[in-house]
Amino acid sequence: MKRIYVNEQWCLGCHLCEYECMYANSGLDEMFKLKGKAGKDILPRIYVEGGEKSPIHFAVNCRHCSGTACVNGCIAGALTKNDDGMVVIDKDKCVGCFTCVLLCPFGAIMPAADGKAAQKCMLCTDNIKGEPNCVKYCPNNAIVYEERE
């Protein structure tokens, strides 16, 4: 299965991925319409680590890992691992207890902007982009979508 991997060596800490993520999941038809909404009405599902002064940056989003701590701990059965090995959240089932936030060792699942449910990367299969927008627009191949196993 193709998955998102990060190449720390090439991450510039530009945070474009966060905005591309928000755009992809906003349902908006133009990116500039994120104006005033980004970071408020919609939050990224990918997070760039490393502050402005840090020499190291890398983006973290759901690893769709084998441990699936979030799935195991979900009190509502809202998180599942599908047949493709992708960890999927059903936001209608999620009650927003954030046990998953407590369990994810990558810090890759977070409350959605409304605070009522969790959100996580679903590799852009849940929006019209179809494949990871963060990868597509990473200017330096610091995030890649590929088969490694």
Partner 1 sequence: MDTFIPAEYEVVRNPDLCIGCRVCERQCANGVHKYDKDLGKMIADSNKCVNCHRCVCLCPTHALKIVKSDDTYRLNANWSMQAMNEVYRQANTGGVLLSSMGNPNDYPVYFNKILVNASQVTNPPIDPLREPMETVVYLGKKDVEIKRDIQGKLVDTMTPQLKLTTPIMFSAMSYGSISYNAHASLARAAEELGIYYNTGEGGLHKDFYKYSKNTIVQVASGRFGVHEEYLNTAAAIEIKMGQGAKPGIGGHLPGAKISEDVSRTRMIPQGVDAISPAPHHDIYSIEDLRQLIYSIKEATAYKKPVIVKVAAVHNVAAIASGIARSGADIIAVDGFRGGTGAAPTRIRDNVGIPIELALAQVDQRLREEGIRDNVSILAAGSIHSSADVVKAIALGADACYIGTSALMALGCHLCRSCQTGNCNWGIATQKPELVKRLNPDIGYKRLVNMVRAWTHEIQEMMGGMGINSIEALKGNRLMLRGIGLNETELRVLGIKHAGE
Partner 2 sequence: MKYLLIGNSTAAIACIEAIRTLDKQGEITVLSKEEQFCYGRPTISYCLAGLTDREHMNYRPLDFYEKMGVSVHLGVSAESIDADKKQVKASDGKKYSYDKLLVSTGSRPFVPFAEGLDKVKNAFTFMSYDDMEALDKALSPEKEVVVIGAGLIGLKCVEGIFDRVKKVTVVDLATRVMPSVTEEESAAMIQSFLEKKGVEFVLGDCAASYTENSVTLKSGKTLSFDILVTAAGVRANTSLIADIGGKVNRGILVNTRQQTSIPDIYAAGDCTEGYDSSIGADRVLALMPNAYLQGKTAGLNMAGGDSEYKDAIPLNAVGFFGLHMLSAGVYEGEIIKVKDENKLKLLFVKDNVLKGFILINDFLRAGIYTSLVRGKTPLDGVDFDMLVEAPQLLAFPAEARAAKLSRRA
* Smallest gap from residue 33 Cβ to partner 2 (A): 26
Q: How many residues bind partner 1 (CB under 8 A)?
A: 24
Question: Binds 41, which of partner 1, partner 2, none (CB < 5 to 8 A, cut-off by type)?
Answer: none
Binding partner 1 (rule: CB under 8 A), the pick from 14, 69, 86, 97 is 14
Q: What residue ranges bind partner 2 (CB under 8 A)?
A: 3, 5-6, 8, 47, 49-50, 54, 56, 58, 60, 63-67, 69, 72-77, 92-93, 95-107, 109-111, 115-116
Q: Residue 58 pairs with which residues in a beta bridge? A: 49
* Smallest gap from residue 39 Cβ to partner 1 (A): 9
**Distance from C-alpha of 103 to C-alpha of 130, rounded to nearest angstrom:** 28
76 belongs to the binding site for partner 1 (CB under 8 A)? no
| Chain mean position to CA 58 | 13
111 neighbors 101 (Cβ within 8 angstroms): yes
Closest C-alpha to 55, from 12, 6, 5: 12
Q: Which is nearer to partner 2, 1 or 128 (CB)?
A: 1
**Distance from C-alpha of 119 to C-alpha of 89, rounded to nearest angstrom:** 7
Q: Which is nearer to partner 1, 10 or 106 (CB)?
A: 10
**Distance from C-alpha of 82 to C-alpha of 104, rounded to nearest angstrom:** 18
**Distance from C-alpha of 132 to C-alpha of 138, rounded to nearest angstrom:** 10
87 neighbors 108 (Cβ within 8 angstroms): no
Question: Binds 145, which of partner 1, partner 2, none (CB < 5 to 8 A, cut-off by type)?
Answer: none
Q: Which residues bind partner 1 (CB under 8 A)?
A: 7, 9-10, 12-16, 18-20, 23, 31-32, 34-35, 38, 52, 55, 137, 139-142
